[in-house]
Structure 1
Amino acid sequence: MPVLDIILWPFKTTAFTFAGTTTSWGEVAGFVTGALCVWLVARQNAWNWPIGILNNLAFLVLFATSGLYADSGLQVVYVVLALYGWWAWLRGGVQHTPLPVSRTTRAQWVWLLAAGVAGTLLLVWVLTTFSNSTVPWADAVTTVLSLLATWGQTRKKVECWWLWIAADVIYVPLYAYKDLWLTAILYVGFMALCVLGLRNWTKSLRADERDRVMAG
């Protein structure tokens, strides 16, 4: 059997059918690894990064076979960012200590806004010019929001959770439109986990800020 057929087999094989819509084993794998990854991020557990890489590989194929080309290509970038994030969480703090939670600075927000607008416009042009995407704007906006959120996640910026929530609000109807119902349900769960992550990270940030005030 050719290697490509082996890779695509889970995404062509039905795991179950619900309300007339089939769900592949590949989508099930993306569901399980994705849920575990976000739960670990919310708990500031560095094991989220290798689990996340497995999730990226599953979604890379799933989205490519569903016509979500920007989201598929995004998974490659996610893998690179995951390798960096894994190192940063463990060794990216002062004197190579674990990285603490921090706030996004005003200068960083300006950079993120500029990158977000430019990245969205560029992706829309690429998708409309070089692909048969039926959802170029939604695909582009969610891709850019996810990239910005992932950067914040690698640096433990508490506001990254708001970016994830914004992306998930668009992802849920987008995946439903593409008949990726299990993935749409997963992203509803992601929003709940994002709220948990925002709560936990904010609590950790405030505790660190109190400790610094008491120490100073």
Structure 2
Amino acid sequence: MLQALYDFWTAAAGGSPLEWVAVLTGFACVWLAARESLWNFPVAIVSCALYVLVYYQAGLYSDGFLQILFILLSLYGWYQWLYGGRNETKLAVSRTRPTEWLGCLLFVASYTLGAGYYLQHHTDATTPHWDAITTAISLAAQYLLMRKRLENWWLWIVVDIMYVPLLWYKHLYPTSALYALYLGLAVYGYWEWRQAMRREQAALQPVA
């Protein structure tokens, strides 16, 4: 056990400075999102820009493309959190609608099959379908996050569990450790958002 921990920290310490900065900013943006802080979006933009380079160097092309999409979605989410509520007010936490679940399911299935096939036959990606499905679930989770849907954290929990072994396999040890921490943050984020939703709903109840 001690040897395994030693091997992990030795490998993690060998991560590039670029990856370590991406790791730290990535952790910060998820922590801020869990706390419902608007600052999660600008920090996420910085982290994603760094991860475009990290994933490209590792041959995770779909995940590199995902970071570009995250930058665009973060800009949109930033606006939504500020003005996406009623009468262009601050957006409140709410439940995911059935139509949104259906849309997410269809998107994840179609993207995984399409992007997985393309990566397998037209690139040198070593894990094409794993790369594709983690990208698809992450995009679905990010969409729900932008709309402040409580269940976005469920999807992040699923994808974090998938990313930890995938990134370890690709020798991105600091990032693999980061996703293990993300898993804990996703659980914390769900708890925080659920409490916030209950407080908001209680505030709307008429006083007897």
Q: Deviation of residue 196 (structure 1)?
A: 0.8
Please list every run of 5 or more consecutive structure 2 residues that lacks an aligned counterpart in the other structure.
1-8
Alpha-carbon separation, structure 1, partners of 2:204 and 2:193: 16
- Over the residues paired in the alignment, what is the CA RMSD in angstroms? 1.5
Alpha-carbon separation, structure 2, partners of 1:196 and 1:209: 20
Alignment correspondent of 1:48: 40
Change in CA separation of 1:188 and 1:126 when aligned onto 2, cut-off 3 Å: same
| Partner AA of 2:51 in structure 1 | F
Alignment correspondent of 1:10: none
SS at match of 1:65: helix
TM-score computed with the length of structure 1 as normaliser: 0.89
Alpha-carbon separation, structure 1, partners of 2:56 and 2:193: 33
Alignment correspondent of 1:103: 95
Q: Deviation of residue 20 (structure 1)?
A: 8.7
Q: Which has the higher strand share?
A: 1
Alpha-carbon separation, structure 1, partners of 2:28 and 2:118: 32
SS at match of 1:187: helix
| Partner AA of 1:131 in structure 2 | T
SS at match of 1:80: helix
Residue by residue over 1:112-140, the C-alpha shift from the partner in whole angstroms, topping out at 9 and shown as x without a partner, is: 11111111111101101211111011101
Alpha-carbon separation, structure 2, partners of 1:142 and 1:25: 25
Residue by residue over 1:59-90, the C-alpha shift from the partner in whole angstroms, topping out at 9 and shown as x without a partner, is: 00000000100000111110110000000011
Q: Deviation of residue 198 (structure 1)?
A: 0.3
Q: Within 5 A, what are the aligned runs for 1:18-33?
A: 18-19=10-11, 22-33=14-25
Whether 1:81 aligns to 2:73 is yes
Q: Deviation of residue 214 (structure 1)?
A: 2.8
Alignment correspondent of 1:136: 128
Please list every run of 5 or more consecutive structure 1 residues that lacks an aligned counterpart in the other structure.
1-16
Alignment correspondent of 2:152: 160
| Partner AA of 1:171 in structure 2 | Y
Q: Identical aligned pairs, as a percentage? A: 37
Q: Within 5 A, what are the aligned runs for 1:1-216?
A: 18-19=10-11, 22-214=14-206
Q: Deviation of residue 160 (structure 1)?
A: 0.3
Change in CA separation of 1:215 and 1:111 when aligned onto 2, cut-off 3 Å: farther
Change in CA separation of 1:99 and 1:183 when aligned onto 2, cut-off 3 Å: same
Kept in 2, the 8 Å contact 1:21–1:179? The answer is no
